[in-house]
Amino acid sequence: MTEKISKNDLYVYGLSDDILSSLQVLSFDSDLNEVEAIHSDSESLVEEKVKVKVKTVPSCNSCGIESFPENSDDHRLHFKTDLHRFNIKRTINGLRPVDAEQFENLVQSQENTTADDSGSESSSNEESGEDEGDTEYVNGGHSDQLTAILEAELQDLNLKDSETGPASHLNTQSPLIFMRSEKLSQGKVFGVYKSLFHGNEQDSPLKSIYSWKKQENTQHFSVLFMIGGGHFAGAVISHQRIATSGNSMNKSNMSVQEQAVQVLEQKTFHRYTTRRKQGGSQSANDNAKGKANSAGSSLRRYNEAALKMDVQALLKKWEPYISKCDNIFIRANSVADRKIFLENTCISKTDSRLKSFPFTTMRPTSNELRRAWTQLSYLSISDKPQPKVKKTQIEPTKEKVKSKAASSEVEELKSEEELHTEKLISFIQKSKAPLLITYIKKNNLDINFRLQPSSEYHHTPTMLHFASFHSLKHMVLVLLSNLKADPTITNNTGKTAWDLAKDRSVKESFQLARYNIGEHSTDWKASHVGDALSAEQIDEMHKKEALEEENRQKVLMQKELQAAKERIKEDKELNKGPGTTLGTMSTNLQINLNSLNDDQRMRLMREQRARAAEARMKQFSGN
């Protein structure tokens, strides 16, 4: 059962004989139905070696006969039989051997088929001479019959393959190869990552695992690299594990299996190449939006180049390991990061050892490399893949019919005016003026066409109202100047299209259209449109306003600058204080005495009296 298997016993480069001998590769068709695959002679040889069975008696692998009676010629006679020759042909064509009983049934069924097809012709041949039939049987007629049986069986297999796809242990639709084992409970299987095998090793996974077990793991190792977001981690990991008997989860939350990973070399780098919480490298941002000129972008650009130099210098240093390793695993999400390993380095793009991690990895660190190698190099226990359930086409067809019927009913419920409205509004919203003009002319629609349903477009009953309300200035100009829409039409609240304009640019489109089509084309007073303006007048007005705005901004800046200077001056005066005038000596002495306590005041007065006495004594001695 699963709970009895230790994780340490599932290391693919050191599987125990007990587990290895119990493994049986599972094969699936394209629908994940389990099928029995034919083991090649090399695969059978591996299983025999694992089970350590040495054959000392004659046998026949082609027919599945393990032994013949000792001191007899049965095995020599067997090799001359039709059964043996038939099984050899089956093995060559990838079919399982049959036993004597199955062989007789096949021959009998073929004879019955031949008899039915030949009819009376075969019976007349039998009456004409039995000796001739016997001669054909001896000379190869029976051989032709066996060939026909084999071809019929191969044809049946081809038909099955065309329906469900060829059977293979690689048809798992996952990065794992699954293996059955008697050590596991029902419905559970072992899984080993396909990426551990390269070349023809995937064809015979058990043989490869057996060869890994026999080799000296101390001389075999793999190289792992991860890079992303300015972080890099690389390691050379030996296939020989470190003894960890008695170990438990350590402070770094490393499992016992991760602690057993023997790291021969490791190195990590980090460079600031990505803006925090932004994602993406600086080079990718430059390619998408153009080269930025900020200090941060220059720093990130420099660090990208420095990181590339650091990694390629490490690859050159580790070239002896890379040239002799069994696998090279690289995790590089972006094309630029992957080029670091493949351009002007010792790693070739066509190297069969070059692989990606078949699962999601975290930030590149030394511990993450250990975790990834542990996940790669240990058998996993998972549920057996379940066959795909083919969805019947009947129900979806019914649903499609219902949906089509419902949609057709909706279309029928819509009036012709509503369908026109949908098209017109679509062209206006997308500013597709040529398509709008073509559609109106093709369907002979009035330019003042009332949008439907009226309950939905009561506020914007015409195309001009709709364009004005949604600030589509270009479409307003096209509707007035090119299509001659009527600007005097009002909505249910008595507002014209001009009244619905919210932006000045839209109103300028109305005024420009008034200038273009002239004063006598419509009643401009009833439309509430402002005075006509030419394009030059509008441009001149914009320039004048821009100049006034620029001058206003300059005045505001000068005022702000003057106010800032005054604030600085006030702050300086507050920090320095207004200053005080020097008072008389007695005033200062009184202030000082008032700030002292009684003891300090008495001490100061004694010192003053002593100085006064000394001064008098000097005066007397001088006289």
The domain segmentation of the chain, as residue ranges, is 38-120+131-166, 178-383, 417-533, 536-576, 590-622
The three-state secondary structure class of 173 is coil
Q: Does the structural domain 417-533 have CATH classification 1.25.40?
A: yes
pLDDT at residue 604 is higher than 80: yes
Place 613 in a pLDDT band, splitting at 50, 70 and 90.
confident
Q: Which of 219, 167, 224, 218 is nearest to 195 (CA)?
A: 224
pLDDT of residue 56: 54
Active-site residue identified among 24, 108, 262, 282: 282
- Quote the tokens at residue 515: 């200038």
Q: In this predicted model, which residue has the larger pLDDT, 230 or 277?
A: 230
Place 54 in a pLDDT band, splitting at 50, 70 and 90.
very low
> For 290-319, what is the mean pLDDT?
89
pLDDT digits (tens, 9 = 90+) for 5-42: 888 889 999 888 888 888 888 887 766 677 765 544 44
Place 327 in a pLDDT band, splitting at 50, 70 and 90.
very high
Place 371 in a pLDDT band, splitting at 50, 70 and 90.
very high
The three-state secondary structure class of 269 is strand
pLDDT digits (tens, 9 = 90+) for 88-132: 777 776 667 778 888 787 777 776 666 555 554 544 444 444 444
Least confident stretch, 12-21, 85-94, 143-152, 381-390: 143-152
pLDDT of residue 427: 92
Q: Does the pTM of the predicted model rise above 0.75? A: no
For residue 240, give every residue at least 6 positions away whose Cβ sits within 8 Å of its Cβ, in sequence order, or none.
Answer: 217, 218, 220, 262
> For 43-66, what is the mean pLDDT?
56
**Positive or negative torsion for Cα 451, 453, 454, 458:** negative
Q: In this predicted model, which residue has the larger pLDDT, 474 or 89?
A: 474
The three-state secondary structure class of 238 is strand
> For 281-288, what is the mean pLDDT?
73
pLDDT of residue 113: 66
pLDDT of residue 391: 56
Place 598 in a pLDDT band, splitting at 50, 70 and 90.
confident
The three-state secondary structure class of 291 is coil
The full DSSP string for 246-260 is T----TT---HHHHT
Give kind and range of the element (H or E) at residue 193.
strand 188-193
Instruction: Map tokens 């511990």 to a residue.
Output: 367
pLDDT of residue 85: 80
Q: How far apart are CA 235 and CA 370, in angstroms?
A: 9
pLDDT of residue 236: 96
Q: In this predicted model, which residue has the larger pLDDT, 494 or 572?
A: 494
Provide, rounded to the nearest whole percent, the portion of the chain with pLDDT above 70. 74
Report long-range pairs for 394-398 (Cβ below 8 Å, ≥24 apart): none
Q: In this predicted model, which residue has the larger pLDDT, 169 or 412?
A: 169
Question: Residue 37 — φ and ψ, nearest 5°?
Answer: -95, 155
pLDDT of residue 125: 47
pLDDT of residue 143: 60
Q: How far apart are CA 185 and CA 183, in angstroms?
A: 7
- Quote the tokens at residue 305: 């180049």
pLDDT digits (tens, 9 = 90+) for 150-209: 677 666 655 554 444 566 777 777 889 998 888 888 889 999 999 999 878 888 888 888
24 bridge partner residues: 180
CA angle, 5 then 11 then 12, to 5° = 120
> For 402-421, what is the mean pLDDT?
68
The three-state secondary structure class of 331 is strand
CA distance to 89, 148, 172, 175, 178, per residue, from 94 (Å):
9, 16, 21, 26, 21
Identify whether 386 is a catalytic site residue. no
Q: In this predicted model, which residue has the larger pLDDT, 415 or 322?
A: 322
- Quote the tokens at residue 317: 């240093």
Q: Which of 24, 98, 106, 93 is nearest to 60 (CA)?
A: 98
Question: CA-CA-CA-CA torsion for 312, 314, 317, 318, nearest 10 degrees?
Answer: -100
Provide, rounded to the nearest whole percent, the portion of the chain with pLDDT above 90. 26
